[in-house]
Structure 1
Amino acid sequence: MLASMDLRGRIVIADRGYDTDRILNLLQEQQATAVIPSRLHRRVQRETDWWVYKERHLVECLFNKLKNYRRLATRYDKLAASFSAFLSLAAIVLWLA
C-alpha cells in the first residue's frame, strides 16, 4: 500500500511493528521521513523524533472515541455514502464536545 502512495516530502508515523528494513528502504526511496521507533532487538537503534511520534497517539484516541458509536464500530450502514455521512457527523460531535 505504501508503494502506491506518493510520499515525497511527507512524514510517515508508525509504531514499532512497522520497523522493518523493507519499509524503511521504501520510505527512503520515496524521500519520506520515517518516524518509527526501533524495535528493542535491533543492534543499532535509530533516532526517533518523539514529539512528532506523540501525534500518533491523538489519532488513536480519535479512533477509540469513534468506536464508542456502535453504528460505526459494527458498520450497520450498507452504503458507503451513509457510513461516510455518519462518520462525519460523529467526528463533528466529538470535535464540538
Structure 2
Amino acid sequence: MLLTPGNVHDCKVARLCIDALPPSAELVADKGYDSQALREWLHERGTEAVIPPRRNRKVQYDYNRAIYKQRNVIERMFCRLKDWRRIATRFDRNIKNFMGAVALAVAVIWWLQ
C-alpha cells in the first residue's frame, strides 16, 4: 500500500505499486491509468494492459472487454472501505494511524465475508 498526497495523479505512482508485485498475465485498470509510458512498461514486463483508452487519445488501443468487466470486484472493495467513515474522510492525519485503521478495516471486511 502506498499513501500519496491528494494532488498526485495515480498514474505517477502506479509503477511503484505494480513493481512490488510479481508479474501477472493482465493488469486491469480504469481510464485514469491510460498512459503510453505505463503501457510500454507493462509490455516489457510481459503483462497485458487491460486499460480502456481515453476518448481524446489519437491512437485508440483495443482491450479485452470481458476481463475489464471483472474490475467491479476491486470497485466493490473500495466501496466497502468507504463505509468506514474514518477512512473515507481521512480522519487520521498521522500516516501510521491512518494505515493502521485501513489495515484494521481490511481485516474486518475479510473476516466478515
Q: TM-score range by the shorter chain?
A: 0.7 to 0.9
The equivalences for 1:66-81 within 5 A come to 66-73=81-88, 74=90, 78=97
**Paired residues, number:** 94
Match for residue 65 of structure 1?
A: 80
Larger Rg: 1
Q: How does 1:1-97 map to 2 (within 5 A)?
A: 1=13, 2=15, 5=19, 7-73=22-88, 74=90, 78=97, 83-93=102-112, 95=113
Larger mean Cα displacement after TM superposition, 67-76 or 7-16: 67-76
Q: TM-score, normalised by structure 2?
A: 0.64
Instruction: Describe the SS at the equivalent of 1:78.
Output: helix
Q: CA deviation at 1:11?
A: 1.4
Displacement of 1:71 after TM fit? 3.8
Q: Distance in 2 between matches of 1:64 and 1:88?
A: 15
Query: Is contact 2:28–2:49 with CA below 8 Å preserved after alignment?
Result: yes
**Structure 1 gap ranges (5+):** none
Structural RMSD (CA): 2.7
Identity of aligned residues (%): 27
Once the two structures are TM-superposed, the CA of residue 30 in structure 1 deviates from its matched residue by 1.0
- Greater RCO, CA 8 A, separation 6+: 1
